Structure 1
Amino acid sequence: MNTIPLIFNQRTVDRTILGGVEQDQNVSMPVTCLILNRNGNKYRSIIFDRLIYHGFEKVICVEAKKNLRGLDELSQQYPTVKFMIPHEHVTPGDMMNLGMGEAKSPYVLVLQDDLCTESFHFPASLAKKLIDQNQFCVCPRLATENQQTLPVHYIPSSKKSVFTIESTLTMATGTKTFYASDWAGFYNRDKFIQLGGADYTIDSEYWQKLDLFFRSWLWGETTTIDSSMLLTYSGEVHEEDMTAGPSYMRFYLKNLLPVFGSDHAEIPVSSFFAFRKQHFCGFRDSVELFRNAKNWTLQNRYRFKTDAVRLIENWGNGDIS
């Protein structure tokens, strides 16, 4: 059973790196554009032309699958673009960790490959505006290829002691949102690393993402929407699997059980019984999972600024602690 990582990129993923040997001479912003290529679609030259035209400090593409076909030729055509090809199965969170670890810029714009459309527009003036907000993540508006608005405003909630997420079509600039839809957003790289990045022991894309963003809120970081940033999908919108399986157990232990008091958080021993009641696994596995999460919380106890109960209760207020 894997131990919850205590530091960023604690897991080493073997990978091949192609390209990125040349520096773009048209840099206009201290931002890396990180593309998560989950579909394995052929890259279109016009997309790379547009990304390079915008003046990113670096463009990094992380592949979801070990597929070198055509990438060698493409890396020669675009020598400033860096391609990362993992040699094993990776989740979107793993891809984020790989890209963030490779990036040198203080800020990273994360896009799924199907958000890299011909209409993509991200000027340096927008980058400066987002940088000035000094947040962990700023989320864009999202739309289908038919310009149908997609929800990007997510609210943590609790119904009969069960954690849930509600969504609305609100997209006013400055509105708090619990997490970045489809990982798309403008990230502060240092904050991402200080948070430990995505937890590789959580296999589910959905719960891995919620774990990272829940942790960011519990540790005092903020994520909001900026309506001036719009991204449009080029095909069908990716549907997330929200099934509460083993990944949810790790999420539950790390985010819902810690109790904040005074200046730190801890997981009370008594909460083990509540955990056992809700999650059906062997007693020995339950003890190991609980002990692992309790130790992780102990190691990070002073990073916490609030707990799940207070966060949810105060979400609509200015103070989330």
Structure 2
Amino acid sequence: MNISVVIPTFRNHKQLVLNLIKNLPFLDYCQVIIVNDDPNQSIQKLINQFTKIILIENHTNLGFPGAVNIGVSNANNEFVMLLNDDVILRDDYFKKTIEEFSRNPSLFAVSFAQVEKDGIIGGKNILYYKNGFIMHNKAPNIIKGRTAWAEGGSMIFNKDKFIKLGGFDKIYSPFYWEDIDLSYRAWKAGYEIVFDPEIVVDHKHESTIGSNFSRTKINSIAYRNQLIFFWKNIDDSKMRISHISAVLRQFMIGLIKLNSVYIKGSISAIIKFISNPKNKKLSVRSDYEVLEIFKK
């Protein structure tokens, strides 16, 4: 089987082991790579009970984007499946995607159907421009078809295209918007991303994030990364002009209401954006053309 599986983990050791026990029967003939992103605690002894698993233990915390990139760089196969440590496979139906990649040379990634803790099925999404910002939401249906992005917690992608795109951008560390960013760059480069409702996983979102970060911190990082995404990727001049006034308005609201999400998010976005190198753009489609895809 020409698939490598990358599982990043951070201080979620018990759930990692429990889910490995459930998932490994479906991962036969796959290369399995676990990336421990907690430099303060080794999980070698926990992983020793499993055979044929490659364990990478980071010496510094890289966040989700960096941890995945390390895992992908060690993958030996043409295709890479990403699984969060809180994701449970229901079967090995993901293996059928190899045929789909063969049929469609433009296909970059396939996103899975995720059954969340409240029973709602996610995994198919849209992006749209509104009031100076790029917004995201669930798609109005969960039938097979194009999706705005492949979910970082459960997807499979072509490794060569991932590397050509520059992988996940570590500017989004520790989490959020990195999968949207990668997928948007893929769409602009002329690739395609598909949602397949027949590949179903159970995913308890934010089980790791929520246990390690406060809600205010999570919201601040999410807003910061939303800004960075726009500054990195949006080239349309009209969108950029309206975005400037929208950001200034949000910042003033933050000052008046003492809302740290807008204040800290804006300031940290500027600092991160200036101090980090940018991915090389591979643009075939315009912003307008990409966003029009998800109106259909």
TM norm structure 2: 0.75
CA distance, structure 1, for counterparts of residue 132 and residue 247 of structure 2: 14
User: Could you say if the C-alpha distance between residues 306 and 227 of structure 1 is closer, same or farther in structure 2, counting changes exceeding 3 Å?
Assistant: same
SS at match of 1:136: strand
In structure 2, what is the equivalent of residue 81 of structure 1?
53
| 1:61-85 deviation digits (Å, cap 9, x = unpaired) | 112312554523633x434110111
Q: 1:237 aligns with which of 205, 219, 234?
A: 205
TM norm structure 1: 0.69
How many Å apart are 1:206 and its aligned residue? 1.5
SS at match of 2:184: helix
In structure 2, what is the equivalent of residue 143 of structure 1?
115
How many Å apart are 1:271 and its aligned residue? 8.9
Q: 2:7 aligns with which of 22, 28, 35?
A: 35
CA contact (8 A) 1:54 1:123 kept: no
Q: Does 1:228 align with 2:198?
A: yes
Aligned residue type for 1:165: H
Q: Does 1:254 align with 2:225?
A: no
In structure 2, what is the equivalent of residue 66 of structure 1?
39
How many Å apart are 1:151 and its aligned residue? 2.1
| 1:8-37 deviation digits (Å, cap 9, x = unpaired) | xxxxxxxxxxxxxxxxxxxxx100111122
Aligned residues: 266
SS at match of 1:113: coil
User: Could you say if the C-alpha distance between residues 237 and 289 of structure 1 is closer, same or farther in structure 2, counting changes exceeding 3 Å?
Assistant: closer
CA RMSD, 1 decimal: 3.6
CA contact (8 A) 1:136 1:187 kept: yes
SS at match of 1:126: helix
CA contact (8 A) 1:151 1:167 kept: yes
How many Å apart are 1:149 and its aligned residue? 2.9
User: Could you say if the C-alpha distance between residues 58 and 111 of structure 1 is closer, same or farther in structure 2, counting changes exceeding 3 Å?
Assistant: same
In structure 2, what is the equivalent of residue 122 of structure 1?
92
CA contact (8 A) 1:31 1:105 kept: yes
How many Å apart are 1:178 and its aligned residue? 0.9
Give the fraction of aligned pairs with identical amino acids, expressed as a percent.
17
CA distance, structure 1, for counterparts of residue 275 and residue 45 of structure 2: 46
CA contact (8 A) 1:136 1:221 kept: yes
Q: Does 1:201 align with 2:174?
A: no
User: Could you say if the C-alpha distance between residues 50 and 151 of structure 1 is closer, same or farther in structure 2, counting changes exceeding 3 Å?
Assistant: closer
How many Å apart are 1:182 and its aligned residue? 4.3
| 1:86-120 deviation digits (Å, cap 9, x = unpaired) | 11122211121011111010001111111135xx3
Deviates more, 1:79-88 or 1:203-212: 203-212
In structure 2, what is the equivalent of residue 189 of structure 1?
159
Unaligned segments of structure 1, at least 5 residues: 1-28, 260-267
Unaligned segments of structure 2, at least 5 residues: 210-217, 252-265
CA contact (8 A) 2:171 2:273 kept: no
User: Could you say if the C-alpha distance between residues 163 and 81 of structure 1 is closer, same or farther in structure 2, counting changes exceeding 3 Å?
Assistant: same
CA distance, structure 2, for counterparts of residue 50 and residue 184 of structure 1: 13
In structure 2, what is the equivalent of residue 56 of structure 1?
29
Q: Does 1:315 align with 2:288?
A: no
Aligned residue type for 1:163: I
CA contact (8 A) 1:179 1:210 kept: yes
How many Å apart are 1:213 and its aligned residue? 1.5
Aligned residue type for 2:37: A
User: Could you say if the C-alpha distance between residues 41 and 290 of structure 1 is closer, same or farther in structure 2, counting changes exceeding 3 Å?
Assistant: closer
Q: Which has the higher helix share?
A: 2
Aligned residue type for 1:112: N
CA distance, structure 1, for counterparts of residue 276 and residue 38 of structure 2: 31
How many Å apart are 1:208 and its aligned residue? 2.4
Aligned residue type for 1:230: V
In structure 1, what is the equivalent of residue 66 of structure 2?
94
User: Could you say if the C-alpha distance between residues 49 and 316 of structure 1 is closer, same or farther in structure 2, counting changes exceeding 3 Å?
Assistant: closer
User: Could you say if the C-alpha distance between residues 222 and 206 of structure 1 is closer, same or farther in structure 2, counting changes exceeding 3 Å?
Assistant: same
CA contact (8 A) 1:36 1:62 kept: yes
Aligned residue type for 1:207: W
